């Protein structure tokens, strides 16, 4: 079994600030991390490695600095790391990114046929959740998005059964390999790498694939040229200024009364809802 995991190196969005004067994003000094959602995808792939002895190849499209993220993925136990990098890929939106990654995956598939492509549900910098589905369409693989767990894989029949979170419930889906799985967050916990794996990662030479190696001929499809998305404006939303109110009262009971009275006065609909709810409960009580 061969599994490809597509990861992205992203700025740690928890540490990004907006410049107070120019309103632009201050990226300087913000540490780069593996997109947290991708870690769930990687761990799921590593679990399949443990279960089936699968080979795990980590793939990323990004600048040379992304090597750091690749090495980190290797330390967790990935077998191979390929960084798809080329100047022409710069400025790519999700359409152009999925084009370049799909090309690289096709090339990888020729070398070692891929059974599953994993991605995180979405990235924390773009938040679009489009690249995973884009890869499935471009590769002609089955698409299993928002997967919370893999129930069963039968390597013989190539059947796969997964749990997928949908609005209002969980779908249990049966599909077949090869497929693209986008993993939901919180589904597993990344393992703690062993010391020998840390050494292997530190010494590993990440493979670099440029557009030629990835088999991309039409440069109009990648990078800024291949990206129909236009960023119109970047701005920080102003937080709503609501003044805190202090409810006074001699005893906690009085304070609670005052709070309820205030809530009912400000939101009459809450009061009427509560009254009808209580009436309903009372009615049930009577019928018993």
Partner 1 sequence: MTEELKAAGSVSAKLPAERFDVIVVGAGPAGNAAAYTLAKSGLSVLQLERGEYPGSKNVQGAILYSNALEKIIPDFRDSAPLERHIVEQRFWLLDERSSLTSANYRSEEFNKPPYNRYTIIRARFDKWFSQKVQEAGALLICETTVTGLLRDNAGRVIGVSTERENGDIYADVVILADGVNSLVPSRAGLRPEIRTCDMALAVKEVLFLPKETIEQRFNISGSEGSVTEIAGGITHGMLGTAFIYTNKDSLAIGIGCILEGMKKQRVTPSELLEGLKNHPMVKPLIAGSEMKEYSAHMIPEGGYKTLPELYGDGWVIVGDSAGFVNAVHREGSNLAMTTGRIAAETIAALKAAGKPMSAANLAAYKESLDASFVMADMKKYQDMPDLLTNHPQYLGSYPSFISGALHDFLTVDGKSKAEKQHQIFQGLRQQRSLWGMLGDAYKFWRTFK
Overall size of the chain counted in residues: 288
Shortest CB 49 distance to partner 1, Å: 6
Integer Cα distance of 256 and 21 in angstroms? 44
By the rule CB under 8 A, 239 interacts with partner 1? no
By the rule CB under 8 A, 193 interacts with partner 1? yes
By the rule CB under 8 A, 55 interacts with partner 1? no
Total residues binding partner 1 (CB under 8 A)? 23
By the rule CB under 8 A, 254 interacts with partner 1? no
Integer Cα distance of 69 and 140 in angstroms? 28
Binder among 87, 203, 240, 288 for partner 1 (CB under 8 A): 203
- Identify the DSSP state of 115: S
Shortest CB 4 distance to partner 1, Å: 18
Binder among 8, 69, 77, 182 for partner 1 (CB under 8 A): 77
Cis-peptide, bond into residue 178, ω within 30° of zero? yes
Locate 72 and state its tokens.
């980190």
Integer Cα distance of 123 and 93 in angstroms? 12
200 contact partners, CB below 8 Å, separation of at least 6: 74, 75
- List, in sequence order, the alpha helices (H) in 112-179: 131-139
Shortest CB 197 distance to partner 1, Å: 6
Binder among 25, 143, 198, 213 for partner 1 (CB under 8 A): 198
Shortest CB 45 distance to partner 1, Å: 12
- Nearer of residues 192 and 235 to partner 1, judged by Cβ: 192
Phi, psi of 109 (to 5 degrees): -60, -35
Give me the residues that bind partner 1 (CB under 8 A), please: 17, 20-21, 29, 31, 46-47, 49-51, 53, 77, 192-200, 202-203
């Amino acid at each position: 079994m061969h599994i490809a995991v597509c990861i992205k190196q992203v700025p740690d969005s928890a540490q990004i600030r907006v410049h107070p004067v120019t309103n632009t994003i201050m990226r300087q000094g913000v540490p780069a991390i593996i997109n947290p959602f991708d870690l769930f995808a990687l761990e799921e792939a590593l679990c399949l490695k443990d279960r089936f002895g699968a080979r795990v190849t980590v793939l990323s499209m990004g600048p040379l600095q992304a090597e750091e993220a690749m090495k980190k993925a290797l330390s967790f136990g990935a077998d191979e790391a390929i960084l798809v990098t080329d100047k022409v890929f710069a400025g790519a939106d999700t359409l152009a990114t999925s084009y370049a990654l799909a090309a690289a995956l096709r090339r990888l598939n020729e070398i070692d046929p891929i059974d599953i492509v994993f991605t995180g549900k979405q990235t924390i910098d773009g938040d679009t959740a489009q690249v995973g589905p884009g890869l499935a369409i471009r590769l002609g693989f089955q698409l299993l998005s928002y997967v919370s767990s893999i129930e069963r894989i039968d390597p013989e029949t190539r059947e796969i059964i997964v749990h997928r979170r949908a609005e209002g419930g969980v779908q249990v889906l049966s599909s077949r390999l090869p497929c693209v799985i986008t993993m939901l967050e919180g589904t597993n916990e990344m393992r703690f790498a062993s010391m020998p794996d840390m050494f292997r990662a530190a010494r590993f030479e990440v493979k670099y694939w440029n557009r030629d190696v990835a088999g991309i001929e039409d440069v109009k499809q990648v990078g800024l040229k291949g990206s129909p998305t236009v960023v119109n404006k970047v701005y920080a939303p102003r937080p709503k200024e609501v003044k805190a109110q202090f409810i006074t009262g001699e005893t906690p009971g009085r304070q609670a009364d005052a709070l309820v009275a205030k809530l009912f006065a400000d939101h009459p609909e809450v009061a009427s809802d509560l009254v009808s709810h209580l009436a309903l409960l009372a009615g049930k009580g009577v019928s018993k």
